[in-house]
A and B are shown apart, each in its own frame.
Chain A
């Protein structure tokens, strides 16, 4: 039976939110009267709720969501690839950065062994998707891709 552990991650998150809320209130000191109402209110709300939650964790009335299974390494890699793609899009252009990112993602996502057949098949279909979407957006929809 899964043990019920106090929700430490949640507490960490809540702590983060408290900081954000405080930051909002601090940033609002420069704003005009009307412009500062919402930032202050929401900031205060975040601080209050965050503290409440941390309190709940300390008293032990929270439950941690089940830890996820699977490879954390792959997950982190995907996050890195996506971030890189977002920032490489400008300098490298759409097709080059897209090809690189999609290839990387393909490698990360495929768990089984690579045979020549799967490599060709997947590589080809990915390229088709990339080029097809490129054509669709750039020419049919008139979107000026970088």
Chain B
């Protein structure tokens, strides 16, 4: 446990300045659709080579957490996730904005992100080594079931017909298979288009599938994009605090879910927020309101995705295995600084690690006023900008964002093609979220499946491999629960209704 010295070291003027600057930069970068937290971290890395290790870590952690939070802006105001971690925030954030509660949603997002980040950092501070060993227990099979669990969330998303949602998910799954198969090396669904060898890029697809249909529909009517709402002047803080207090169980649970998912190598904010959202919805008495502007939805997703920041650092620092994609870059940056991660990091290089963790906590706290201020600025501008200028502006961001991911023109083309196609199938009644979910989860599920198949075959029993492992059984339980709970609960309500009639 860190002693006060480390906290004081983290409070040095330089470190504070770095934290502040990085949080602001991260928030702005994350807010722009197409610029991900990974990119924000990657951009900062070269500058960190000249810094002291602890300061470098603080800056990287701060920009990371700012970016994850920043994604909420575009999600709430433009129905476009600023980063993949904010996909689930669009579910309820945007409807809230349409109802005139955009400022409330932004404030809730900020507060929830701060709490989530603190919970994640707290686990990092206190429980890092033991939690890291938990992460290792997740093998390919567990990831497969996790992927499947994620896919069942599609069914519960409930935007329109469930069957159409599942079909959308299936489409996303097909898209995830484009390119070279990770196991086996087959080239699938590529045809003559060599540009597709790398597969469909998630971020470009995200931008296309979410932004383009919104953009297209924006021009249809002269009606303003968002109504200003009753009071634009205030942050609606009191109201927000009230809601948070009411939902404190949700807040805590989602933060913990986010931390745990962040610990799992390869699973990041997007999955964490989805799981948290689904769990909150399942356990909520106001289930039918989810997806129509329910504050609890925003609270769940934003706290979960920021908790992955702290959670992701656990395997990164303890095992040297990145918990989330930005962590991989940070690991590289640490290596260049000569810092070897591993269990000894916490004992032999305690000053660096603990100063960093306190710095992360401080950066998360700084995010509170910073986020609220930037949020109000963002809200005011989006509302005030005339639609005619908003459309080209957002369109520009989509093109820039999809290009900037890999500096690849083909991905811009992927983005517009998928976007227009999404608008097309959207007219036919198929929404974008299941498709994106299928795309993200397809890789995880298939990889886990094939690897589990190989290992199970080697060990003698594939069935035992998939069904007899404790963690897998737990996940399968949740899958079954998730699938049947809505039906079961509805049945109980109906039966109760009949009894009372």
Q: Which residues of B in the span 405-429 have a Cβ within 8 Å of any Cβ on A?
A: 407, 409, 412-413, 415-417, 419-420, 423, 425, 427-429
The answer on a CB contact under 8 Å between B423 and A79 is: yes
The answer on a CB contact under 8 Å between B429 and A7 is: yes
> Taking the complex as formed, is A115 at the interface, i.e. its CB lies under 8 A from any CB of chain B?
no
The residue on A at minimum CB distance from B385 is A125
> Taking the complex as formed, is B232 at the interface, i.e. its CB lies under 8 A from any CB of chain A?
no
The answer on a CB contact under 8 Å between B396 and A38 is: no
Which residues of A sit under 8 angstroms from B161, Cβ to Cβ?
A: 7, 10, 53, 62
The answer on a CB contact under 8 Å between A39 and B388 is: no
Which residues of B sit under 8 angstroms from A120, Cβ to Cβ?
A: none
The residue on A at minimum CB distance from B391 is A109
Place the interface of chain B in its size category. Answer: 35 or more
> Taking the complex as formed, is B366 at the interface, i.e. its CB lies under 8 A from any CB of chain A?
no
Which residues of B sit under 8 angstroms from A39, Cβ to Cβ?
A: 174, 177, 188-189
Question: Do A10 and B395 contact each other (CB < 8 Å), given the known contacts A17-B171, A86-B415, A122-B386?
Answer: no
Cα separation A79 to B211 with both chains bound (whole Å)? 12
The answer on a CB contact under 8 Å between A34 and B453 is: yes
Which residues of B sit under 8 angstroms from A144, Cβ to Cβ?
A: 407
Cα separation A53 to B425 with both chains bound (whole Å)? 15
The answer on a CB contact under 8 Å between B183 and A86 is: no
Instruction: Tell me, rounded to whole Å, the shortest Cβ–Cβ distance linking A99 to chain B.
Output: 10
> Taking the complex as formed, is B166 at the interface, i.e. its CB lies under 8 A from any CB of chain A?
yes
The answer on a CB contact under 8 Å between B396 and A130 is: yes
> Taking the complex as formed, is A58 at the interface, i.e. its CB lies under 8 A from any CB of chain B?
no
Instruction: Tell me, rounded to whole Å, the shortest Cβ–Cβ distance linking B109 to chain A.
Output: 24
Cα separation A36 to B483 with both chains bound (whole Å)? 27
The answer on a CB contact under 8 Å between A105 and B392 is: yes
Cα separation A142 to B416 with both chains bound (whole Å)? 24
Cα separation A32 to B173 with both chains bound (whole Å)? 18
> Count of A-B contacts with CB under 8 A?
207
Q: Which residues of B in the span 425-444 have a Cβ within 8 Å of any Cβ on A?
A: 425, 427-430, 442
Most buried by B among A86, A108, A111, A129: A86
The residue on A at minimum CB distance from B428 is A13
Cα separation A1 to B222 with both chains bound (whole Å)? 26
Which residues of B sit under 8 angstroms from A17, Cβ to Cβ?
A: 167, 170-171
Q: Which residues of B in the span 130-175 have a Cβ within 8 Å of any Cβ on A?
A: 160-161, 163-164, 166-167, 170-171, 173-174
Most buried by A among B177, B184, B396: B396
Which residues of B sit under 8 angstroms from A90, Cβ to Cβ?
A: 409
Cα separation A78 to B212 with both chains bound (whole Å)? 9
Chain B contact surface mostly:
helix
Question: Do A37 and B449 contact each other (CB < 8 Å), given the known contacts A46-B170, A46-B171?
Answer: yes
Q: B63-71, B213-221, B272-280: which lies at the A interface?
A: B213-221
Which residues of B sit under 8 angstroms from A65, Cβ to Cβ?
A: 160, 429
Q: Beta-carbon contacts of A7-40 to B below 8 Å, as 1s and 0s?
A: 1011011101100110010011011101111110
The answer on a CB contact under 8 Å between A109 and B216 is: no
**Which of A79, A110, A130, A143 interacts with B407 by CB under 8 Å?**
A143
> Taking the complex as formed, is B399 at the interface, i.e. its CB lies under 8 A from any CB of chain A?
yes
Which residues of A sit under 8 angstroms from B413, Cβ to Cβ?
A: 86-87
The answer on a CB contact under 8 Å between A38 and B420 is: no
The answer on a CB contact under 8 Å between B399 and A126 is: no
The answer on a CB contact under 8 Å between A125 and B188 is: no
**Which of B415, B427, B446 interacts with A9 by CB under 8 Å?**
B427
The answer on a CB contact under 8 Å between B399 and A98 is: yes
Instruction: Tell me, rounded to whole Å, the shortest Cβ–Cβ distance linking A119 to chain B.
Output: 10
Instruction: Tell me, rounded to whole Å, the shortest Cβ–Cβ distance linking B150 to chain A.
Output: 15
Q: Which residues of B in the span 54-106 have a Cβ within 8 Å of any Cβ on A?
A: none
Cα separation A52 to B396 with both chains bound (whole Å)? 40
Cα separation A24 to B416 with both chains bound (whole Å)? 23
Question: Do A137 and B400 contact each other (CB < 8 Å), given the known contacts A38-B173, A106-B389?
Answer: yes
Instruction: Tell me, rounded to whole Å, the shortest Cβ–Cβ distance linking B385 to chain A.
Output: 8
The residue on B at minimum CB distance from A14 is B167
Instruction: Tell me, rounded to whole Å, the shortest Cβ–Cβ distance linking A16 to chain B.
Output: 8
Instruction: Tell me, rounded to whole Å, the shortest Cβ–Cβ distance linking A59 to chain B.
Output: 13
**Which of B163, B212, B218, B442 interacts with A82 by CB under 8 Å?**
B212
The answer on a CB contact under 8 Å between B428 and A109 is: no
Cα separation A32 to B403 with both chains bound (whole Å)? 33
The answer on a CB contact under 8 Å between B429 and A10 is: yes
> Taking the complex as formed, is B43 at the interface, i.e. its CB lies under 8 A from any CB of chain A?
yes
Cα separation A91 to B453 with both chains bound (whole Å)? 46
Which residues of A sit under 8 angstroms from B183, Cβ to Cβ?
A: 34-35
**Which of A10, A21, A28, A122 interacts with B388 by CB under 8 Å?**
A122
The answer on a CB contact under 8 Å between A38 and B449 is: yes
Instruction: Tell me, rounded to whole Å, the shortest Cβ–Cβ distance linking A98 to chain B.
Output: 6
Cα separation A13 to B212 with both chains bound (whole Å)? 19
Cα separation A142 to B423 with both chains bound (whole Å)? 32
The residue on A at minimum CB distance from B25 is A140
The answer on a CB contact under 8 Å between A49 and B170 is: yes
The answer on a CB contact under 8 Å between A35 and B391 is: no
Cα separation A31 to B229 with both chains bound (whole Å)? 55
Which residues of B sit under 8 angstroms from A78, Cβ to Cβ?
A: 215-216, 219, 391
Q: Which residues of A in the span 34-90 have a Cβ within 8 Å of any Cβ on B?
A: 34-39, 42-43, 45-46, 49-50, 52-53, 56, 62, 64-65, 68-72, 74-75, 77-79, 82-83, 85-87, 89-90
Q: 10 pairs across A/B with beta carbons < 8 Å?
A: A10-B161, A17-B171, A31-B184, A35-B188, A37-B450, A75-B216, A85-B399, A105-B395, A110-B388, A133-B396
Given contacts A12-B428, A13-B429, A37-B453, 6 further A-B contacts (CB under 8 A): A10-B429, A39-B174, A68-B220, A83-B416, A101-B392, A129-B393
Q: Which residues of A approach B to under 8 Å, CB–CB?
A: 7, 9-10, 12-14, 16-17, 20-21, 24, 27-28, 30-32, 34-39, 42-43, 45-46, 49-50, 52-53, 56, 62, 64-65, 68-72, 74-75, 77-79, 82-83, 85-87, 89-90, 98, 101-103, 105-106, 108-112, 122, 125-126, 129-130, 133, 137, 141-146
